[in-house]
């Protein structure tokens, strides 16, 4: 969820984008030399990232002449690392990239990891929240970002609810499971991870998925991003990275059990049963109804930008056609 609510500070990113340092280029003129690639995750490793770990374990990156280092984002965040060139590629989300592009930050989405938005508002079944109208009189736990209130209001308006009757509580460092047992009634989560963990804990949830109430909120989250500068300077590197990554996610689609084991072996701190159940749930949703894994539609980018603009969340000019590309996806 912190990725959803990340606020991009335009000034610091624009300064970072001016950096001339190119730490990721391979040295020498040998075309057969392995190129070093830095990839920044958006958060701690989870099943949104499985295809990357599969591509690494199965040697798909190596086959493309790439030596990929998967990095945690740290305080800077993946978008800032990609924008500054300190990471070649990263995990982002359409909502943050839309803000970034409007602020003049040159990051681009090169593949959608999940075709439809799997996030929504979760509550314990006993709370009786069965639709957004039922948010009335309830405590919403979040991080105080303007986008949260706008989304709550949008869903409640669709369901003829009064959003002024929602109380907003800052969860701080508390996770969903701590906060839901303490002082909140609902929170914004990704079902594919938090929802599956709730199942493991024997907690029954009600979910209101964003996409079920608004086509404009069925956006791409997460996505794989890169910098315009890398696309212009080394499109073959981008093409090679995307080819190997797509192969990794395609494997995870076709072999969720083995893909889960690869992620567990790569990140042994993860709960193995959570990974396996999450992977089983998520694998069919990677490509879903798209003609190929990773493909993005212009209308999806336009819809969300329109929603942001309607809710006063978009500052600056946004051109949806420049925000993403399908050109590096394998045919």
Residues 63-82: tens digit of each pLDDT:
999 999 999 998 889 999 99
Predicted pLDDT at 74: 86
Query: How far is it, in rounded angstroms, from Cα 113 to Cα 224?
Result: 7
205 — phi, psi (to 5°)? -115, 150
Strand partners, 170: 142
Low-confidence ranges of the chain (pLDDT < 70): 1-32
Report the relative pairing of strands 66-71 and 139-142 from DSSP bridges.
unpaired
Predicted pLDDT at 14: 36
Instruction: Tell whether pTM > 0.75.
Output: yes
Query: How far is it, in rounded angstroms, from Cα 93 to Cα 99?
Result: 10
Q: Are 156 and 133 in contact (CB under 8 A)?
A: yes
Predicted pLDDT at 32: 59
Query: How far is it, in rounded angstroms, from Cα 155 to Cα 30?
Result: 55
């Amino acid at each position: 969820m912190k990725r959803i609510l990340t606020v991009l500070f335009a000034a610091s990113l624009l300064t970072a984008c001016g950096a001339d340092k190119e730490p990721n280029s391979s040295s020498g003129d040998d075309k057969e030399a392995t190129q070093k690639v830095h990839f920044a995750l958006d958060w701690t490793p989870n099943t949104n990232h499985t295809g990357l770990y599969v591509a690494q374990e199965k040697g798909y990156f190596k086959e493309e002449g790439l030596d990929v280092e998967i990095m945690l984002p740290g305080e800077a965040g993946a978008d800032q690392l990609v924008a500054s060139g300190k990471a070649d590629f990263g995990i982002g989300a359409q909502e943050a990239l839309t803000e970034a592009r409007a602020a003049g930050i040159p990051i681009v989405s090169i593949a959608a990891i999940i075709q439809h938005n799997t996030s929504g508002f979760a509550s314990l079944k006993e709370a009786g929240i069965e639709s957004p109208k039922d948010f009335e009189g309830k405590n919403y736990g979040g991080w105080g970002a303007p986008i949260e209130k706008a989304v709550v209001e949008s869903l409640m308006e669709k369901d003829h609810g009064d959003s002024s009757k929602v109380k907003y509580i800052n969860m701080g460092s508390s996770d969903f499971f701590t906060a839901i047992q303490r002082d909140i009634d609902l929170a914004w989560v990704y079902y594919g991870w938090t929802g599956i963990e709730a199942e493991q804990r024997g907690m029954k949830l009600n979910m209101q998925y964003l996409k079920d109430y608004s086509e404009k909120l069925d956006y791409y989250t997460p996505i794989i991003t890169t910098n315009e500068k890398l696309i212009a300077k080394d499109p073959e590197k981008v093409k090679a990275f995307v080819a190997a990554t797509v192969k990794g996610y395609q494997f995870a689609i076709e072999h969720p059990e083995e893909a889960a084991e690869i992620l567990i072996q790569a990140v042994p701190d993860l709960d193995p049963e959570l990974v396996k159940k999450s992977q089983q749930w998520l694998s069919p949703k990677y490509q879903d109804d798209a003609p190929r894994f990773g493909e993005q539609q212009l209308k999806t980018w336009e819809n969300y930008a329109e929603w942001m603009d309607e809710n006063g969340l978009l500052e600056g000019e946004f051109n949806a056609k420049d925000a993403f590309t399908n050109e590096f996806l394998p045919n």
